[in-house]
């Protein structure tokens, strides 16, 4: 604004000079304008200098919070990449920004910026995890947590994408038929072990397991005993335990890679240990969100979508909660051919009188689901604040993205 004021003064002066008649010194208006502009310009320039200093100060303080933005970016792309697992896991940027803001709004305040940043990151992590986790099938939950843990370490510079590639592929690209431990170590595990011995971990390119084949050869019976253990992930690793334990940055990831390479059947349990060590113990404990928790986030125009698996039906749980909220009986329609009209009638009644509506098996009425955004945001009527919509459906690749 100060810059604009300065520009306006200059334009005004130039216009007067262009239109002056006779001598400048004989025009009292020009003299007055010059005096006014001189005084005003000095004040404006002082404000501009002050504003420039403030800008630098603000930018310096903003930089303290860059780690929050960096973590937000990491978490967002973890969420986005879940759509490669299942189309129904689509999450909008606005949904994510609500989670991001939650960390800023509700995390504990602190005097020191470093502590404040740490608090925001912890709360944002937890909020994103809890929100996304409840919308995943059980088999995919550890995938998301592993994605979070590995991407956070990659962003911190502790891991590289190649390290994660080793965890996923192991010895898949190696051909070596000379297995000296063939009597007790399967060929697939031998190839995994060879890949492990050739890999350079982290940004410092440490060949952590370079001597692994030789050490197994020198201490074969001890290694065979470790491999045959019922829970090798909980038993000290021969020759390497002290070295692994002393690496506070990626020691748990290195241990995970070793278990995955030699005892693939114990990989998920080793993953849980790595996740807990990286993100915290709460991420290694199964959690179940209750309907009461979900209800707090619902709105008349924000329905709840349940993804169905075989044998699962949340309708009875919704009805039970509806009794507590004095919304029983709920209006119900099992979707399918020609069921759109009764469903629309229930929704219309619910919007008017504040009733709850449950639409089941909505994967059988995808075209109707595609219209749901317009239905939930009517232009010429108010929606009763107590109205709620509950949707159940099986995963479908053609389910409308907007509603998700």
66-136 belongs to CATH 3.30.70: no
Q: Which residues pair with 359 in a beta bridge?
A: 333, 391
| Ramachandran sector of residue 326 (left: φ over 0; alpha: ψ -120 to 50; beta: rest) | left
pLDDT at position 310: 83
Quote the pTM value: 0.84
Q: What is the pLDDT of residues 382-397, one digit of tens each?
A: 999 999 999 999 999 9
pLDDT at position 249: 86
Q: Mean pLDDT, the chain, as a whole number?
A: 92
pLDDT at position 218: 95
pLDDT at position 8: 86
Confidence of residue 270 (pLDDT cuts 50, 70, 90): very high
Residue 24 pLDDT exceeds 80: no
Interacting residues of 104 by C-beta distance below 8 A, sequence separation 6+: 68, 120, 124
Mean pLDDT of 115-127: 96
Give me Rg for the CA atoms of the chain. Answer: 32
pLDDT at position 37: 80
Cβ burial, residue 81 (10 Å; 0-12/13-18/19+): middle
Mean pLDDT of 242-265: 94
pLDDT at position 116: 96
Confidence of residue 252 (pLDDT cuts 50, 70, 90): very high
Residue 330 pLDDT exceeds 80: yes
Q: What is the DSSP letter of 283?
A: G
**Do the Cβ atoms of 336 and 364 come closer than 8 Å?**
yes
**Do the Cβ atoms of 324 and 314 come closer than 8 Å?**
no
What's the distance, Cα to Cα, between the start and end of the chain in Å? Answer: 43
pLDDT at position 229: 95
pLDDT at position 5: 82
Choose among 69, 79, 204: nearest CA to 129: 79
Residue 205 pLDDT exceeds 90: no
User: What DSSP letter does each residue of 208-261 carry, written as one string?
Assistant: TTTTHHHHHHHTHHHHHHHHT-S-GGGSPPTTTHHHHHH-TTTHHHHHHHHHHH
Mean pLDDT of 255-261: 97
Question: Which range, 32-41, 120-129, 286-295, 302-311, is most confident?
Answer: 120-129
Distance CA 229, CA 315 (A): 45
289-295 long-range Cβ contacts below 8 angstroms, 24+ apart: 289/130, 289/134, 291/317, 291/318, 291/321, 292/321, 294/134, 295/321, 295/325, 295/388
Rounded percentage of the chain residues whose pLDDT exceeds 90: 78
- Class of the CATH-defined domain 291-393: alpha beta
Distance CA 360, CA 350 (A): 16
Higher pLDDT, 282 or 9: 282
Scan for tokens 């009763």, then name that residue: 384
pLDDT at position 3: 80
pLDDT at position 347: 97
Distance CA 224, CA 217 (A): 10
pLDDT at position 285: 87
Q: What is the pLDDT of residues 42-65, one digit of tens each?
A: 888 888 899 999 999 999 999 999
Residue 11 pLDDT exceeds 80: yes
Domain parsing of the chain, residue ranges: 2-63, 66-136, 161-284, 291-393
**Do the Cβ atoms of 184 and 192 come closer than 8 Å?**
no
Mean pLDDT of 17-24: 76
Q: What is the pLDDT of residues 131-180, one digit of tens each?
A: 999 999 999 999 999 999 999 999 999 999 999 999 999 998 888 889 99
Mean pLDDT of 265-293: 92
pLDDT at position 10: 82
In this structure, what is the dihedral angle of CA atoms 49, 53, 56, 62, given to the nearest 10 degrees? -130
Confidence of residue 269 (pLDDT cuts 50, 70, 90): very high
Distance CA 142, CA 57 (A): 43
């Amino acid at each position: 604004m100060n810059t604009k004021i300065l520009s306006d003064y200059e334009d005004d002066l130039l216009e007067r000079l262009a239109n002056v008649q006779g001598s400048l010194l004989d025009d009292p208006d020009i003299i007055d304008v010059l005096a006014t502009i001189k005084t005003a310009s000095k004040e404006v320039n002082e404000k501009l200098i002050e504003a420039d200093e403030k800008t630098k100060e603000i930018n310096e303080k903003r930089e303290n919070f860059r780690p929050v933005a960096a973590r937000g970016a990491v978490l967002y792309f973890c969420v986005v990449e879940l759509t490669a697992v299942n189309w129904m896991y689509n999450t909008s940027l606005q949904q994510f920004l609500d989670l991001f803001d939650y960390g800023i709004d509700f995390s504990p305040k602190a005097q020191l910026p470093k502590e404040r940043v740490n608090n925001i990151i912890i709360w944002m992590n937890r909020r994103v995890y809890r929100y996304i986790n409840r919308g995943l099938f059980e088999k995919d939950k550890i995938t998301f947590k592993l994605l979070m843990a590995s991407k956070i370490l990659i962003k911190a510079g502790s891991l590289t994408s190649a390290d994660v590639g080793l965890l996923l592929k192991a010895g898949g690209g190696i051909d070596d038929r000379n297995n000296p431990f063939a009597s007790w170590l399967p060929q697939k595990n031998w190839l995994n072990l060879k890949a492990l011995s050739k890999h350079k971990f982290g940004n410092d390119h440490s060949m952590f397991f370079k001597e692994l084949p030789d050490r197994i050869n020198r201490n074969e019976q001890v290694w065979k005993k470790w491999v045959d253990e019922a829970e090798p992930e909980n038993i000290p690793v021969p020759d390497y335990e002290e070295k692994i334990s002393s690496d506070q940055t990626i020691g748990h990831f290195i241990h995970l890679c070793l278990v995955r390479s030699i005892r693939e059947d114990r990989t998920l349990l080793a993953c849980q240990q790595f996740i807990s060590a990286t993100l915290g113990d709460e991420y290694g404990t199964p959690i179940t969100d209750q309907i009461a928790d979900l209800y707090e986030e619902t709105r008349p125009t924000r329905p709840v979508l349940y993804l169905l698996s075989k044998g699962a039906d949340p309708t009875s749980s919704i009805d039970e909660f509806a009794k507590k909220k004095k919304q029983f009986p709920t209006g119900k329609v099992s979707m399918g051919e020609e069921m759109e009209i009764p469903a629309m009638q229930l929704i219309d009644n619910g919007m008017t009188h504040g009733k709850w509506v449950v639409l089941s098996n909505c994967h059988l009425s995808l075209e109707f689901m595609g219209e749901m955004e317009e239905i939930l945001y009517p232009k010429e009527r108010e929606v009763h604040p107590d109205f709620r919509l509950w949707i159940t459906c099986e995963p479908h690749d053609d389910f409308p993205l907007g509603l998700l």
